């Protein structure tokens, strides 16, 4: 019972933190659990979603009470978010509408940027919350389920717990090294210019 409570509490708090000011996704936690117990990991995706919705609502409502310049300054102080990325999200929402909210976070663009931008556009809070469910849950399920599958494969191949843990840590370390140096989270040198490489990294 205590283990279950810890699993879900960490997932909820992490999901909320990542939707506000934290920069490491809760998928790290849910996939860690799924590596050793798929049932535990998949169950916590629901708690991660609940936390993400709470964090998204907080970001949205906070942004409505602040000027856009102030919220942009807060966002760009978070590792992996640049002024260029914020500007790209603004353009994406203008051009693609609500579909941008659903697809953007699955491509490595922080969900909190969409929450902030939609708030400043006075878009429907109810619709934002409803579409936040697929925007968050699709990736949570894909990553957690994928790692659960890899964990089962490792068990069949006779890989021990230490080997699974080392591979898991190396995988996430490699992902974030790429994300912050070559991927969407690298710093943009110019907030006003968008290069073809940057658009490609964001999946545009």
User: Would you state the pLDDT for residue 105?
Assistant: 85
User: Would you state the pLDDT for residue 140?
Assistant: 97
DSSP line for the chain: -HHHHHHHHHHHHHHHHHTTT--S-THHHHHHHHHH-HHHHHHHHHHHHHHHHHHHHHHHHHHHTS-HHHHHHHHHTSTT--HHHHHHHHHHHHHHTTHHHHHGGGGT--HHHHHHHHHHTT--HHHHHHHHHHHHHHHHHHHHHHHHHHHHHHHHTT--HHHHHHHHHHHHHHHHHHHHHTSTTSPPS-SS---HHHHHHTT-
User: Would you state the pLDDT for residue 14?
Assistant: 98
Per-residue model confidence as pLDDT tens digits over 33-90: 999 999 999 999 999 999 999 999 999 999 999 999 999 999 999 999 999 999 999 9
User: Would you state the pLDDT for residue 71?
Assistant: 97
The single residue listed with the structure tokens 């840590």 is 169
Report residues of the chain scoring pLDDT below 50: 189-204
Rounded to whole angstroms, what are the CA distances from 81 to 87, 139, 156, 189?
A: 11, 19, 40, 12
Question: From CA 38, how far away is CA 144, in angstroms rounded?
Answer: 8
User: Would you state the pLDDT for residue 194?
Assistant: 39
């Amino acid at each position: 019972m205590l283990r279950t409570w810890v699993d879900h509490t960490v997932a909820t708090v992490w999901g909320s933190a990542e939707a506000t000011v934290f920069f490491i996704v809760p998928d790290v936690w849910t996939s860690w659990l799924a590596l050793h117990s798929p049932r535990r990991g998949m169950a916590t995706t629901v708690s991660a979603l609940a936390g993400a919705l709470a964090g998204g609502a907080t970001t949205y409502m906070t942004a409505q009470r602040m000027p856009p310049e102030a919220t942009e300054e807060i966002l760009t102080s978070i590792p992996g978010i640049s002024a260029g990325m914020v500007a790209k999200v603004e353009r994406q929402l203008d051009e693609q509408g609500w579909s941008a909210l659903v697809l953007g976070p699955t491509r490595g663009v922080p969900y909190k940027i969409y929450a902030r931008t939609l708030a400043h556009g006075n878009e429907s809070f109810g619709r934002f919350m409803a579409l936040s469910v697929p925007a968050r849950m699709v990736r949570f399920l894909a990553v957690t389920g994928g790692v659960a599958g890899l964990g089962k494969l490792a068990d069949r191949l006779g890989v021990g717990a230490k080997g699974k843990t080392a591979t898991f840590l190396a995988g996430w370390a490699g992902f974030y090294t790429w994300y912050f140096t070559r991927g969407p989270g690298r710093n943009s040198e110019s907030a006003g210019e968008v290069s073809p490489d940057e658009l490609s990294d964001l999946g545009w």
